[in-house]
Structure 1
């Protein structure tokens, strides 16, 4: 037909197909909702690339794990947590006590290497005295180790590197660190898509009644998918401060309106999964600090054996870097590292209390300006924002075309 229907003719169209037209805002609302779900999932999923050859998709965040992992580590450690302060909170006596059996195993291994078969022939009492002397020095060894960590924080106790490596390796952890705290933002985006789609659907229904043009339907779907994605993303970050619109509606970018929730959840995840006891102990019992710890243990065991057994011959191999010495070092360090999980379970409650990472992160993030918070969150959505919006529009158009097919085949329009 040519031209537009009169209001009476438009009403006749509605009366002739009431349920078909009333379904338009419902389907449009679905389009608004599903395009938001897809947009959100495209940010976080799949964790690993899915597809054939170069054609496929990987979540924006996992795909850029190296970039976002480094940024997250920098945010936590540069603006939030001072590694030196963390080290300073640790009590060497408490750590030595909780890790006593790990230390005893290390002492036995070193002593056996120093004396060879003679260690097994040493009287039990003399052996016990030598071990006890070395064990009594454990708190001081740990204190020395922590002091070395503080003095050479970037070289020996580079938590930034450790956290970055962990977030890059464990992409699910990186996703949890961002997605968990942003729950209210995700919920808002879905609800906004639903409401926006429904309103556009009402307009679509009216326009169709006046035009009876099937083209209106996929175009409406395109608008819902394209425009609502873009508007929803803007509403997350704009405005930074609360504003009143049209003298009636007050609005503040949801990321800032919900900043307290975000900060609380982010701090909780950072404390439990990112800077938890296992990672801290892993940093102490692995890498350069593990070598320093082994050297300290070796030195103390030598002194204890010399004092208790009265040995005067050189106890250390003439060439300190011999294969035998290096093999022992690797063995002891690997054994200690393998028990990080066990040690973290024992020390966990103490480390959580002493380090108080959750409270530290919460207070520090709370001090960030809204601009600083946006700089922290916006890159997650910004890099491929255009692609997400385009795909949302394309999906809306496709669903609209499917709606046309169903209306013409089943609805008789």
Structure 2
């Protein structure tokens, strides 16, 4: 009867070894001495290298300063910016300007205010792409996406690093544990068959 429990015992062993392997990716978080061997989880031990690789991948493949520049220079973004500027000019002319310069306000009237607003908006629309381009060039020169990400990942606490990786790969790690149980069970079945033959 014991022999028929082999597949289940092997499944438990297979699951446990894979569970332990996944845990050892993160634990122990700090170096621990075991006899003459130093043990530390793979991710905490290689956090600096991991930070470099993640940063390089993100900067090369996902997000660069030129990508940000391209998004900001998008016509929809510029249109939204112009709308916001127009609202601010309206607010200024109708509220602050009227209070600060009541005499000019009387002489200008609605038509005069509209002409001032129109002149401002024309100038803003002509200058905005240049200003954004110039500003983004400076950001591109000073913003090192790769280095920024590398620094942020490198200073994460081991617990935060584990949370981050687990939030991305939790299902995959559970699948690895399950595969260990399935393979263990199959090995147990093969053992039962071999013993019975």
Q: Give the Cα separation in 2 of the matches to 1:45 and 1:167.
A: 18
Q: CA deviation at 1:203?
A: 2.1
Residue 30 of structure 2 aligns to a residue whose secondary structure is coil
Q: Give the Cα separation in 1 of the matches to 2:161 and 2:133.
A: 28
- Specify the alignment match of 2:183 in structure 1: 196
Q: How does 1:242-257 map to 2 (within 5 A)?
A: none
Larger relative helix fraction: 2
- Name structure 2 gaps, 5 residues minimum: 86-130
1:46 maps onto 2:28 in alignment: yes
Tell me if structure 2 keeps the 8 A contact 1:69–1:174: no
What is the CA deviation profile of residues 213-261 of structure 1, one whole-angstrom value per residue up to 9, with x for unaligned ones?
xxxxxxxxxxxxxxxxxxxxxxxxxxxxxxxxxxxxxxxxxxxxxxxxx
Tell me if structure 1 keeps the 8 A contact 2:52–2:150: yes
Q: 1:65/1:145 Cα in 2 relative to 1: closer, same or farther (>3 Å)?
A: farther
Residue 58 of structure 2 aligns to a residue whose secondary structure is helix
- Specify the alignment match of 1:36 in structure 2: 18
Q: 1:30/1:53 Cα in 2 relative to 1: closer, same or farther (>3 Å)?
A: closer
Q: How does 1:5-404 map to 2 (within 5 A)?
A: 18=1, 20-51=2-33, 55-86=37-68, 89=72, 147=134, 150-151=137-138, 153-154=140-141, 156-170=142-156, 171-209=158-196
Q: CA deviation at 1:209?
A: 4.9
Q: CA deviation at 1:32?
A: 0.7
Q: CA deviation at 1:52?
A: 5.0
Q: How many residues align?
A: 142
Normalising by structure 1, we get a TM-score of 0.30
Tell me if structure 2 keeps the 8 A contact 1:167–1:173: no
Q: CA deviation at 1:85?
A: 3.5
Q: Give the Cα separation in 2 of the matches to 1:190 and 1:68.
A: 23
Q: 1:35/1:53 Cα in 2 relative to 1: closer, same or farther (>3 Å)?
A: closer
- Name structure 1 gaps, 5 residues minimum: 1-17, 95-143, 211-413
Q: 1:203/1:166 Cα in 2 relative to 1: closer, same or farther (>3 Å)?
A: same
Q: Give the Cα separation in 1 of the matches to 2:53 and 2:41.
A: 17
Residue 44 of structure 1 aligns to a residue whose secondary structure is coil
Q: 1:54/1:81 Cα in 2 relative to 1: closer, same or farther (>3 Å)?
A: farther
Q: CA deviation at 1:147?
A: 4.9
Q: Give the Cα separation in 2 of the matches to 1:70 and 1:149.
A: 25
Q: 1:148/1:172 Cα in 2 relative to 1: closer, same or farther (>3 Å)?
A: farther
Q: CA deviation at 1:149?
A: 6.2
Q: CA deviation at 1:63?
A: 0.9
Tell me if structure 2 keeps the 8 A contact 1:46–1:59: yes
- RMSD (Å) for aligned C-alpha atoms: 3.3
